[in-house]
Amino acid sequence: MIDFEYTSNAEEGTASGKAKNGGGDGRAAHPESGKEVVRDGAEKIKGVFSTQTVGKVGTGTTQRKTIQKTYWDAEELEDGQISIQPLNVNYVPSGPKRTVEREDFLTKFNPEPEFYVSTVYPAMKEMNTAIVRGEQHRERGAAYSAEFEYKQAMAIDEENVRANFGLGLTYLDRGDQAKANDIFERLVGLEAAFEEEHKHLFNDFGINMRKNKMYDQALQYYLRAEELVRNDEHLYHNIARCYFEKGNVEGCKEYLLKSLQLNPNLEASRQFWAYLKGKGLVRDGEGPEIPVEEAAKSAPSPGGGEEAKATAGKKNPSASINLD
DSSP per residue, 10-33: TTTTEEEEEEEE--S--EEE-TTT
Domain ranges, ordered by start, for the chain: 2-116, 230-324
pLDDT band at 1, cuts 50/70/90?
very low
Give the mean model confidence (pLDDT) for residues 96-121: 95
Query: What is the C-alpha separation between 312 and 77, in angstroms, rounded?
Result: 52
Query: What is the C-alpha separation between 188 and 164, in angstroms, rounded?
Result: 11
pLDDT at 228: 83
pLDDT at 43: 79
Which residue in 319, 322, 278, 318 sits closest to 297, CA to CA? 322
pLDDT in tens, 11-46: 444 444 443 333 444 455 555 555 555 555 567 899
Burial of 47 (0-12, 13-18, 19+ CB in 10 A): buried
pLDDT at 86: 96
* Residue 317 predicted with pLDDT over 90: no
Give the mean model confidence (pLDDT) for residues 287-311: 53
pLDDT band at 323, cuts 50/70/90?
very low
- Cα separation values, 207 from 20, 166, 241, 322, Å: 50, 14, 10, 12
- Cα separation values, 295 from 157, 277, 320, Å: 45, 9, 11
**DSSP assignments along 167-183, one per residue:** HHHHHHHTT-HHHHHHH
Give the mean model confidence (pLDDT) for residues 99-109: 95
Query: What is the C-alpha separation between 71 and 118, in angstroms, rounded?
Result: 14
Q: To the nearest whole number, what is the mean pLDDT of the chain?
A: 81
pLDDT at 200: 84
* Residue 157 predicted with pLDDT over 50: yes
Which of 24-33, 128-137, 218-227 reaches the highest mean pLDDT? 128-137
pLDDT band at 85, cuts 50/70/90?
very high
* Residue 320 predicted with pLDDT over 90: no
Q: In this structure, what DSSP letter does residue 299 have? A: P
Count the Cβ atoms, other than its own, within 10 Å of residue 45: 24
Within 8 A by CB and 6+ apart from 122, the residues are: 13
Residue type, 293: E
pTM for the full predicted model: 0.71
pLDDT in tens, 176-215: 999 999 999 999 888 888 888 888 888 889 999 999 999 9
